[in-house]
Amino acid sequence: MSWEYSRRVRYYETDRMGVVHHSNYLRLLEDARMDWIRDHIMNYNDIEKMGIIIPAVSASGNFKSFLRYDDAFSVKMKLDKFTGVRMHFTYEVRNKETGELCYDGESVHYFAIGEDYKPFSIKRKFPELYQKFKDMVEE
């Protein structure tokens, strides 16, 4: 079950050429991921109150086309791998009016607890949270 985040491109996200600056695509993916976590798991703020943070290990993508100021777009995303320690998301950013693929990407994250950001498995300490993530995996 892929999930979709939608909105319009904001002016500050564009560059002098009038297109979304390449650095902002990672922000669009993060916006989508935070909303996905809120809609399917719980508010990220509540996860942090449990002492858990979810840092990125890697993020990459490919530019296929352009988004411009005020273009309506969607980010389709899915969680396709989850171990209880790490998770892998995939993304497609599309222009909603044309359906054109503008960017595809992926990101890997891990669960950390404490100030040393050491990876840990949420399976034993937070079994309900583990199950919520596990239930969302799409192969």
35, two tokens: 């909303």
DSSP state, residue 9? -
Residues 33, 116: Cα–Cα separation, whole Å: 24
Could you give the C-alpha distances from 78 to 12, 13, 41, 138, in angstroms and in order?
27, 24, 13, 7
For the chain, the straight-line distance linking the first and the last C-alpha, in angstroms and rounded, comes to: 10
CA distances from 139 to 28, 90, 96, 127 (A): 23, 11, 25, 21
Which residues form the catalytic set? 15
Task: Determine the 3-state secondary structure of 128 from DSSP.
Answer: helix
